[in-house]
Amino acid sequence: MEVRELGSGLQVSKLGLGCMSISGAYGDRIAQDQANALLRTAFDKGVTFFDTAEIYGPYVGEEMVGTALAPIRDRVIIATKFGFKIDPETGRSTGFDSRPEHIRTVVEASLQRLGTDRIDLLYQHRVDKDVPMEDVAGTVGELIAAGKVRWFGLSEADPQSIRRAHAVQPVAALQSEYSLWSRKIEAEVLPTIRELGIGLVPYSPLGRGFLTGTVRPANLSERDYRAAMPRFQKEAADANLRLVEALAALAEQKGCTAGQLALAWVLHQGEDLVPIPGTRKIERLEENLAAADIRLSEEDLAAIEQALPADAVVGSRY
């Protein structure tokens, strides 16, 4: 698989693997042997970039990723995240916490769970308005100097926060939701990071599975948090499914699936971005990775824009 560069020096596979779903976000957690097979198959097929976070599970997501990647640790890039308060009894987030002392504590715990001596890419999961961004970036900079972290990233950050962080500690990557049905970052965020030389890591590039045309809201389990999302509610879902049907028709003409066409569209938005579609199934992994080989012409891109314009999606993200 081709390699792309995020920021300055962080080289990863053209497509990464988002590992949130293996720990139970979209239903029951998968078994560790299944996670091992999934992540190692991804590696065998060229994926070197794996994304997790302490909040996934919580905690168990990092443990599963660390165990699965242990035999190939030195040949992969592992990204994880800090920034939430987590209730020890319920395991749920109770707000943000990016205080320097909390960042240091989380990093030590993440290193233990991942079974490694360094975190390749450490993201602030969400901006904490109660902690100056300069303090956050400075703390991560100290962890980089200590060899515990290699690169600094932000997630879902606004342009001002990105600039403030980057002025203290260079930001390698911004992770934000970006897909054919989530394009808000195109107005201000994307121009900002490109001005600063920061890479983009689009999460949910398949619209949390909706753009594949195989996810039907009525079939989601009670444990799947997508069921409560506005875009998955009945009226919105019906309207959005019509958009996906139009995308699927174009995909059929290209000889690919709707999901592959949606991923190919993201990949064609620039050489400075690396999507991280997530899955729990090897067959879906293989389908996603095949999208890296799809070439879209200007006519193809124009047809996709016409079928699924940025303002046509019904319902907010959350």
CA–CA separation, 283 vs 298, rounded Å?
30
How many folded domains does the chain comprise? Answer: 1
What does the pLDDT look like over 112-166, one tens digit per residue?
999 999 999 999 999 999 999 999 999 999 999 999 999 999 999 999 999 999 9
Query: What type of residue is 280?
Result: R
Q: Which two tokens stand for residue 16?
A: 């990464």
In a domain, 259, yes or no: no
Element (H, E) at 87: none
**189, pLDDT greater than 90:** yes
Active site residues: 56
- Predicted confidence at residue 225, as pLDDT, reads 76
In a domain, 246, yes or no: no
Q: What is the mean pLDDT of residues 66-75?
A: 98
Query: What type of residue is 122?
Result: L
In a domain, 125, yes or no: yes
In a domain, 105, yes or no: yes
In a domain, 146, yes or no: yes
CB neighbours of residue 32 within 10 Å: 14
In a domain, 192, yes or no: yes
What is the reported pTM? 0.96
Residue 134 in contact with residue 171, Cβ under 8 Å?
no
In a domain, 92, yes or no: yes
Note down the domain range covering 52. Answer: 3-211+269-279
**CATH for 200:** 3.20.20.100
CA–CA separation, 109 vs 247, rounded Å?
43
In a domain, 307, yes or no: no
